[in-house]
Structure 1
Amino acid sequence: MTEQPDCENKTEARKLAEEYMLLGGRRKSKIDDNITDVRKWEDDPPEAESFWTGQIDPLDEERRKEVEFFLPSINNP
């Protein structure tokens, strides 16, 4: 069973992930055995890249993993 982030953090993490995707972000998450990883096969548009480096990269690892959880999954076409 995958452990969900708590509700308050999930809301903020979801907002960040959604904003990134609205900007055209192309990173996708890979979740396997409760380990989240992000894959990037295509370059992001400049706005999405800037958002990722300015808003998501600076987060501590736990918070960044919460955001990554809400990215589209490579397991779902």
Structure 2
Amino acid sequence: MESTEGRMLAEEYLRLGGKRRVKIDDNHQTVRLWEADPPDAERFWHDRIERLEDRRRKDVEFFLPSINSP
């Protein structure tokens, strides 16, 4: 399977201990954060993901663990 830039960024964020989860409902995608991220994951999110244009950031968010799954 080919890795996209979004997938690679999401995997690195999670490897750093990132806690954000995606919620997809009726094609609306939002990110939830109930626990604080470790400092390295928070910095990575802020520096590498949060600054992306909306479409590219949504691509990264899509690869986060989903709160929709049991």
Shorter-chain TM-score above 0.5: yes
| AA partner of residue 16 (structure 1) | L
CA distance in 2, matches of 1:31, 1:75: 7
Q: Which runs of no fewer than 5 residues in structure 1 stay unpaired? A: 1-7
Kindly state the Cα deviation for residue 49 of structure 1 after the two structures are TM-superposed: 0.1
TM-score by length of 1: 0.85
- Of 37, 40, 59, which aligns to 2:30? 37
- Of 41, 44, 50, which aligns to 1:51? 44
| AA partner of residue 48 (structure 2) | Q
> Is residue 2:15 matched to residue 1:18?
no
TM-score by length of 2: 0.93
CA distance in 2, matches of 1:72, 1:31: 11
Q: Which runs of no fewer than 5 residues in structure 2 stay unpaired? A: none
CA distance in 2, matches of 1:46, 1:76: 27
Identity of aligned residues (%): 64
CA distance in 2, matches of 1:44, 1:50: 9
| AA partner of residue 56 (structure 1) | I
Which stretches of structure 1, 4 residues or longer, exceed 4 Å deviation after superposition? none
CA distance in 1, matches of 2:69, 2:14: 16
